[in-house]
Chains A and B, each alone.
Chain A
Amino acid sequence: MKMMKYIAFVVFAVMLVSCQKAIEIDLPEVDQEYVVEGRIEVNTPPIVILSETQGYFDEASVESVFGTFVHDAIITMTNSDGNTFVLTEICSSSIPDSLLDDVSALTGIPAESLGFFDYCIYTSLDPNAMGEENKLYHLEVDIDGKILTSSTKIPGIVPLDSTWFEVEGDLDSLGFVWAYLTDPDTVGNYYRWYAQRINIHTYGVEAGTVKDPFPIAPFGSIFDDKFFNGLTFDFAYNRGEIGNLEGQDDEGPEEGYFKTGDTVVIKFCSTTRENFLYIRALENQAATAGSPFASPGNLPFNIEGGIGIWAGYAPAYDTLICE
């Protein structure tokens, strides 16, 4: 019988381990598509990043990625008042280094990236182009005659009732940020959570720099009110990381935690359904990469003639000192 157990164990182990091997896939050459990543936020100028896709197996270096920016497009934004704004292209090579941190905070793009490479956005410096609550925004992109269009709306601001920091379990100084939210009594509210620690690293290689250069959305940052329409409830978020940058506390015991002493600015945004579906699918794509249980599908882009997203955000800010 012992033999039997042994056999069973081996067989089961084999079943579990199954076999995984790296494979090479020869994909035919495909035409590339234009990608629009645009946002219009309350009290903030519109920001549109225009790039192009690459072949899936093409070399993925920083240089090649930064080579995908599409320049010299004619981009216009029209709001529901009928005012049209032409967006101008601004590249990081043309702005003084002293402004890089401000641009980083505005765009959510790491200042290092802005400094090392030519990072280009389209925006409007016209104060009237800044986003306003409950307005519609139509976007039109003309790249050598190829037209891409999209529309979005900035929803109304829904502020959090309160926020607080709570140490997790028996950890002495690490924990999550909690919040109370009263959801308006209409179905169809979509929210996105960002948090930024604005205090300075006091030790380590990053000592002296601001902990988070801009507001960071943790994984699962976007949600809708389907399960709690009209309710008041509490929820917590862990600390997010910047996709491709590993900070000094993004690995090790502090990973994912806020810490006693942190000053955290919470940027709690109302956003659109299209953006909710897009970000949810984007996070889902990242989470299920390689799982057979997810059907491979493209993100629900809202750009006619191309891919990407044009989204309205209505942020409410809270500043919290973690104690």
Chain B
Amino acid sequence: MKNIILFILLLPILTFAQKNYTLSGYIKDKSTGEVLIGATVFVPSISKGATSNVYGFYSLTIPEGNYEVKYTFVGFADQMKKIELNGDLKMNVELGESSEIMEEVVVEGKATDNTNSTQMGQIDLSVDKIKSLPAFMGEVDVLKTIQLLPGVQSSGEGNTGFYVRGGGPDQNLILLDGAPVYNASHLFGFFSVFNADAIKNINMIKGGMPAKYGTKLASVLDINMKDGNYKEYHAEGGIGVIASRLTVEGPIKKDTASFIISARRTYIDVLIDPFIKETAAIKGSGYHFYDLTAKFNWRISDKDRIFLSGYFGRDVFTYRDKNIGINFDVPWGNATGSLRWNHLFNDKLFLNTTAILTDFDFGFSSRVDDFRFEISSGIRDWNFKQDLTYFMSTRNEIQAGWNFIRHRFIPTSVSASSGDTEFDTGETVKIFAYEGAAYIQDEFDLNENLTINAGIRYSMFQQVGPFTRYHKNPTTGKTDSTTVYGKGDKIVFYGGWEPRASMRYLLPDKSSIKAGFAHNYQYVHLASISSVSLPTDLWFPSSELVKPQIGTQYSIGYFRNFNKNTWETSVEVYYKDLKNLIEYKENAQPEDNVADNVDNQLTFGNGYSYGAEFFVKKAKGQFNGWIGYTWSRTMRTFDDIDGGLEFPAKYDRRHDLSVALQYDITERWNVGLIFVYATGNAISLPERRFYSFTENRLITVWSTRNGYRMIPYHRGDISVTYTGKTHKEVVDPDTGDITLKKKRVQSSWNFSVYNIYNRANPYFIFFDYSGDLSQNNLKVNGYQISLFPILPSVTWNFKF
């Protein structure tokens, strides 16, 4: 295996060893100085090209000669440069906005068309385009838009996270400027933590993850924040029904250093408070969230840049009831910070060094009369990584790097007291672990038609002390003994090779076939104790009991574009095998984590998923958008659940259809439409009951795990965006010529209607008994709770 990879890595070096020069530089937006990600550099005479990386850097090595080079990026005017290449040449290019005021509206900001790239199941989204689709409560949400793509499933209203190709919500690597974000949702998943105004670019990889990414099994969602305008100060914001946001950006030193700060807060609690009487029992109850995103960057020289970016967000839920003497507070939130240094050794060698701190914590504190109960959990990572990119020749790019993470977990920390008695809840358990990885990958053209991206990653994990292991007697369930590990003691080690490969074969009719293989390890897990995903779900590391999750995915697809890339179509099929998945044992209770190890409450199993994804997109024109359809199956097997019988995962979804369409009626009026249809979630239902003669209660007996289905989920949303005039006519007093001048303040109105035909989609189904058995009027009732009826909203967005 290793020899084959070495051969593949060396092959391009052998084939392309000839005298060439390198054209390199940065591609930027002329008006803001922001670097452009995924802009294309193309030399038509020899049909060679490259794209800019996430730092806007490109490098193209071609034979000596005179060329016309074309720089392009969607929404920007093309630029042609004539060059004489007789030595390595540095060329920084600034692209201006397209000369037409009315840009061609495209749904994606993808530079190379989808038949050309080797990456399978990869989607780039530009935030501008997301903003013209209907948004829930008018709050633009990048995660919601991602869920409209085939292979990516929404976990449903009121649930955090999303599912990619049969993987769980914990198997997605969500990166904000390189920093992992553990809980990407506000308010039980109604809003994502990412403020769209501060985001430049989103890249989603759902299959065949390249070797530079690791730590998670299912997907990578790589979100890049804007750098901030290098030329002038700008502000942008929006006032919505439930939240407002403001973004300010500008140069610290023109063309050298810039910043962007973005903030958002909901104000339902503030608006409602005056309506609640001082004497009301629930006075003081409320909910709000806020988030703050900031980024500074500094171009020290042509070869060095420094970025400092941070995110801080909090959800706070409070409940007061004076009548029954209950108080509880539930705060949770993420914080991330990353410091990055880009260094260009020469025009072919690019180094990115990043130090990251990421933190997620959840708290719950309650007081009922004089009984006080507090519970908290959290995860904190210190993360250091270096990634080196070597643009060896045109279409041969080698990347290598390493990564080291120190994890600190607090699985569940409880303190409780009643009156003056402090209960013994044990010391706060902290779990420490190290995770490391090194990788090398190479993307190269084997010949005119075949491009290969091959790589390998070795990852490892070590849990270290201090730690107390509670050994359980398998029959009595009691703690038989404990093992106490001192600080720094090695507890358990895991490691493994993660080979990755993807290829693209270009067919004569300009369509292409792509195939991918990925083998991944995941050492950090999320266990959900309830049937819906909540911020209470617990993150914890691999341990003596919890082996790393292992995922292996095979995928193949056919991609074809029509009509000069106006229409893009693709079909992808995949099979995924998952090992060492975790679930809580039945009847586990959160308090059982106290004076115990969380993993003693877990049960382990395997799973698989397969499916086919169909995608049709009209990328250009007045009318554009896409339709994605996924057919899939996702199954699980756990020894301790239903005696090892195979059962469907909660999000096993046979059919999943998403339609997202936009139509530009005029320059100023735009209509967006979303329609989604999904097979209902798999659920367990009560099948039988018995009357407990000793407890005098009816007891429910449930079906096998997920043996039934909810009704299908479907919903339509519509939005209308009215954009105010962007330019005004200016009459030159001397010549009388009329010119168009950009207006200083630009604004738009977005009217959205969520769930336009008022479909009652099930959030959950529950059952209860009414009446009294002794009165002979007992009835068994089933109820369905739906969250959102038809919901109109309006948002005013501005920019100056």
Whether B766 and A291, one on each chain, are in contact in the complex, defined by CB atoms closer than 8 angstroms, is yes
Instruction: Report how far A33 CA is from B703 CA in the complex, Å.
Output: 12
Residues A227 and B589 in contact in the complex (CB < 8 Å), given A14-B789, A291-B766, A293-B530: no
Chain B residues near A109 (CB, 8 Å)? Answer: 693-694
Counting CB contacts under 8 A, is A53 at the interface? yes
Instruction: Report how far A226 CA is from B425 CA in the complex, Å.
Output: 8
Residue-wise, chain B 395-435 has the 8 Å CB interface mask toward A (1 for contact) of: 00000000000000000000010100101110000000000
Residue-wise, chain A 279-302 has the 8 Å CB interface mask toward B (1 for contact) of: 111101110011111111111100
> Which one of B343-351, B471-479, B617-625 is at the A interface?
B471-479
Chain A residues near B764 (CB, 8 Å)? Answer: 292
Whether A227 and B423, one on each chain, are in contact in the complex, defined by CB atoms closer than 8 angstroms, is yes
Instruction: Report how far A139 CA is from B747 CA in the complex, Å.
Output: 78
Instruction: Report how far A198 CA is from B774 CA in the complex, Å.
Output: 23
Chain B residues near A65 (CB, 8 Å)? Answer: 691, 773
Whether A60 and B692, one on each chain, are in contact in the complex, defined by CB atoms closer than 8 angstroms, is no
Number of A-B contacts (CB under 8 A): 222
Counting CB contacts under 8 A, is A317 at the interface? no
Whether B791 and A11, one on each chain, are in contact in the complex, defined by CB atoms closer than 8 angstroms, is yes
Which of B268, B695, B774, B778 is A12 in contact with, Cβ under 8 Å? B268
Counting CB contacts under 8 A, is B7 at the interface? no
Whether A226 and B268, one on each chain, are in contact in the complex, defined by CB atoms closer than 8 angstroms, is no
> Which one of B72-80, B379-387, B681-689 is at the A interface?
B681-689
Whether B693 and A49, one on each chain, are in contact in the complex, defined by CB atoms closer than 8 angstroms, is yes
Chain A residues numbered 52-111 whose CB sits less than 8 Å from any CB in chain B:
52-57, 60-62, 65, 68, 107-110
Which of A23, A55, A243, A296 is B696 in contact with, Cβ under 8 Å? A243
Counting CB contacts under 8 A, is A164 at the interface? no
Instruction: Report how far A284 CA is from B772 CA in the complex, Å.
Output: 20
Whether B693 and A37, one on each chain, are in contact in the complex, defined by CB atoms closer than 8 angstroms, is yes
CB distance from A69 to the nearest CB of B (A): 9
CB distance from B647 to the nearest CB of A (A): 13
CB distance from B227 to the nearest CB of A (A): 34
Counting CB contacts under 8 A, is A231 at the interface? yes
Whether A273 and B476, one on each chain, are in contact in the complex, defined by CB atoms closer than 8 angstroms, is yes
Chain A residues numbered 105-139 whose CB sits less than 8 Å from any CB in chain B:
107-110, 119
Chain A residues near B687 (CB, 8 Å)? Answer: 27, 30, 55-56
Whether A187 and B767, one on each chain, are in contact in the complex, defined by CB atoms closer than 8 angstroms, is no
Whether A18 and B788, one on each chain, are in contact in the complex, defined by CB atoms closer than 8 angstroms, is yes
> Which one of A2-10, A140-148, A200-208, A257-265 is at the B interface?
A2-10
Residue-wise, chain B 310-321 has the 8 Å CB interface mask toward A (1 for contact) of: 000000000000
Chain B residues near A15 (CB, 8 Å)? Answer: 787-788
Residues A9 and B275 in contact in the complex (CB < 8 Å), given A292-B530, A298-B702: yes
Counting CB contacts under 8 A, is B272 at the interface? yes
CB distance from A305 to the nearest CB of B (A): 13
Instruction: Report how far A184 CA is from B388 CA in the complex, Å.
Output: 62
Which of A7, A22, A188, A290 is B478 in contact with, Cβ under 8 Å? A188
Whether B424 and A229, one on each chain, are in contact in the complex, defined by CB atoms closer than 8 angstroms, is yes
Counting CB contacts under 8 A, is A234 at the interface? yes
CB distance from B583 to the nearest CB of A (A): 9
Residues A227 and B690 in contact in the complex (CB < 8 Å), given A7-B241, A14-B791: no
Whether A23 and B692, one on each chain, are in contact in the complex, defined by CB atoms closer than 8 angstroms, is no
Instruction: Report how far A268 CA is from B452 CA in the complex, Å.
Output: 73
Whether B785 and A18, one on each chain, are in contact in the complex, defined by CB atoms closer than 8 angstroms, is yes
Which of A8, A57, A227, A285 is B780 in contact with, Cβ under 8 Å? A57
Whether B688 and A299, one on each chain, are in contact in the complex, defined by CB atoms closer than 8 angstroms, is no
Which of A23, A107, A119 is B783 in contact with, Cβ under 8 Å? A23
Whether B587 and A188, one on each chain, are in contact in the complex, defined by CB atoms closer than 8 angstroms, is no
Chain A residues near B786 (CB, 8 Å)? Answer: 18-21
CB distance from A76 to the nearest CB of B (A): 20
Instruction: Report how far A286 CA is from B763 CA in the complex, Å.
Output: 21
Instruction: Report how far A284 CA is from B592 CA in the complex, Å.
Output: 14
Chain A residues near B691 (CB, 8 Å)? Answer: 51, 65, 68
Instruction: Report how far A294 CA is from B766 CA in the complex, Å.
Output: 11
Identity of the chain B residue whose Cβ is nearest the Cβ of A29 in the assembled complex: B687
Residue-wise, chain A 291-323 has the 8 Å CB interface mask toward B (1 for contact) of: 111111111100000010000000000000000
Whether A244 and B587, one on each chain, are in contact in the complex, defined by CB atoms closer than 8 angstroms, is no
CB distance from A215 to the nearest CB of B (A): 12
Counting CB contacts under 8 A, is A172 at the interface? no
Counting CB contacts under 8 A, is B91 at the interface? no
Whether B684 and A9, one on each chain, are in contact in the complex, defined by CB atoms closer than 8 angstroms, is no
Instruction: Report how far A68 CA is from B699 CA in the complex, Å.
Output: 14
Instruction: Report how far A299 CA is from B686 CA in the complex, Å.
Output: 12
CB distance from B417 to the nearest CB of A (A): 10
Whether B268 and A295, one on each chain, are in contact in the complex, defined by CB atoms closer than 8 angstroms, is no
Chain B residues numbered 593-615 whose CB sits less than 8 Å from any CB in chain A:
594-595
Whether A60 and B698, one on each chain, are in contact in the complex, defined by CB atoms closer than 8 angstroms, is yes
Instruction: Report how far A244 CA is from B776 CA in the complex, Å.
Output: 11
Chain B residues near A23 (CB, 8 Å)? Answer: 765, 782-784
Whether B424 and A231, one on each chain, are in contact in the complex, defined by CB atoms closer than 8 angstroms, is yes
Instruction: Report how far A268 CA is from B766 CA in the complex, Å.
Output: 35
Counting CB contacts under 8 A, is B616 at the interface? no
Counting CB contacts under 8 A, is A251 at the interface? no
CB distance from A68 to the nearest CB of B (A): 7
Which of B268, B699, B702, B767 is A297 in contact with, Cβ under 8 Å? B702
Chain B residues near A298 (CB, 8 Å)? Answer: 586, 701-702
Counting CB contacts under 8 A, is B700 at the interface? yes
Whether A12 and B272, one on each chain, are in contact in the complex, defined by CB atoms closer than 8 angstroms, is yes
Chain B residues near A5 (CB, 8 Å)? Answer: 271, 274-275
Instruction: Report how far A60 CA is from B778 CA in the complex, Å.
Output: 6
Whether A56 and B686, one on each chain, are in contact in the complex, defined by CB atoms closer than 8 angstroms, is yes
Chain A residues near B766 (CB, 8 Å)? Answer: 289-292
Whether A33 and B782, one on each chain, are in contact in the complex, defined by CB atoms closer than 8 angstroms, is no
Whether B701 and A60, one on each chain, are in contact in the complex, defined by CB atoms closer than 8 angstroms, is no
Whether B699 and A299, one on each chain, are in contact in the complex, defined by CB atoms closer than 8 angstroms, is yes
Counting CB contacts under 8 A, is B737 at the interface? no
Instruction: Report how far A37 CA is from B271 CA in the complex, Å.
Output: 54
Which of A35, A245, A295 is B690 in contact with, Cβ under 8 Å? A35
Chain B residues near A19 (CB, 8 Å)? Answer: 760, 785-787, 789
Instruction: Report how far A231 CA is from B766 CA in the complex, Å.
Output: 40
Instruction: Report how far A291 CA is from B768 CA in the complex, Å.
Output: 10
Chain B residues near A49 (CB, 8 Å)? Answer: 693-694
Residue-wise, chain B 273-293 has the 8 Å CB interface mask toward A (1 for contact) of: 011000000000000000000
Chain A residues numbered 230-244 whose CB sits less than 8 Å from any CB in chain B:
231, 233-235, 242-244
Whether A227 and B594, one on each chain, are in contact in the complex, defined by CB atoms closer than 8 angstroms, is yes
Residue-wise, chain B 748-782 has the 8 Å CB interface mask toward A (1 for contact) of: 00000000000010011111110011101011111
Residues A21 and B784 in contact in the complex (CB < 8 Å), given A14-B789, A292-B763, A307-B701: yes
Which of B274, B692, B782 is A25 in contact with, Cβ under 8 Å? B782
Counting CB contacts under 8 A, is A39 at the interface? yes
Chain B residues near A217 (CB, 8 Å)? Answer: 695
Instruction: Report how far A238 CA is from B544 CA in the complex, Å.
Output: 43
A: residues with CB less than 8 A from B are 4-5, 7-9, 11-12, 14-15, 18-25, 27, 30, 32-33, 35, 37, 39, 49, 51-57, 60-62, 65, 68, 107-110, 119, 187-188, 217, 226-229, 231, 233-235, 242-246, 273, 277, 279-282, 284-286, 289-300, 307
Supply 23 A–B pairs (Cβ within 8 Å), ascending by A: A7-B241, A9-B271, A11-B241, A14-B791, A18-B789, A19-B760, A22-B781, A23-B782, A56-B701, A60-B779, A60-B780, A68-B691, A188-B476, A188-B478, A188-B479, A227-B424, A228-B424, A273-B476, A273-B477, A289-B769, A295-B586, A296-B531, A299-B699
B: residues with CB less than 8 A from A are 137, 158, 241-242, 267-268, 271-272, 274-275, 416, 418, 421, 423-425, 476-479, 529-532, 534, 584, 586-587, 589, 591, 594-595, 683-702, 760, 763-769, 772-774, 776, 778-789, 791, 793
Give me 19 other A-B pairs in contact (C-beta within 8 A), A12-B272, A20-B785, A108-B694 excluded. A8-B272, A9-B272, A18-B763, A53-B690, A53-B701, A56-B687, A57-B780, A60-B689, A62-B776, A227-B594, A231-B424, A244-B772, A244-B774, A246-B774, A289-B700, A289-B766, A292-B532, A297-B586, A298-B702
Going nearest first, the 4 A-B pairs with the smallest beta carbon separation are A243-B696, A290-B766, A297-B586, A53-B688
